[in-house]
Structure 1
Amino acid sequence: MAKPDNRADNAVHLKQHINNTEANLKEAEDYLDEHASEISADEKQSIESKNERRKQSIDGFEAELQDETQQ
């Protein structure tokens, strides 16, 4: 049997997703800054690409949070 759609805590979960994604983004940026001379160009590009996706995710989470709080 399917669980009922309980959206009461969606805003809380979205805020957690935003906070976690921002923390991962900062951690990756710090890693790039601290180890710039030690990492390969491929690894740097991979981290930068992942961070771009994280920024897009944060934008999406924020838009979704705004929708949730307006209801």
Structure 2
Amino acid sequence: MPTLSPLNGSSGGRIRRLTRPLARLSSQLQHEWRQRRTERVLNGLPAEIRKDIGWPAGDPLASDLRHPENPSR
């Protein structure tokens, strides 16, 4: 007689439905962390280099333009 474990059978779909949002959240958090890290690196460059590559000046409005969905970043 076959047994159903949490990883196969009918409960497998339920586990995937529960873990999919967590995986998406994890991916989104990783993306945002990398984005902030990249911005910190770019903001740490000398002003002349930032100007040459077209990176905005260090004013607060420039940060708002890069994150229109959340101006507090």
Report the structure, 1 or 2, having the larger helix content: 1
TM-score, normalized by length of structure 1?
0.46
Which structure carries more relative contact order (alpha carbon 8 Å, separation 6+)?
Answer: 1
CA radius of gyration, larger in: 2
TM-score, normalized by length of structure 2?
0.45
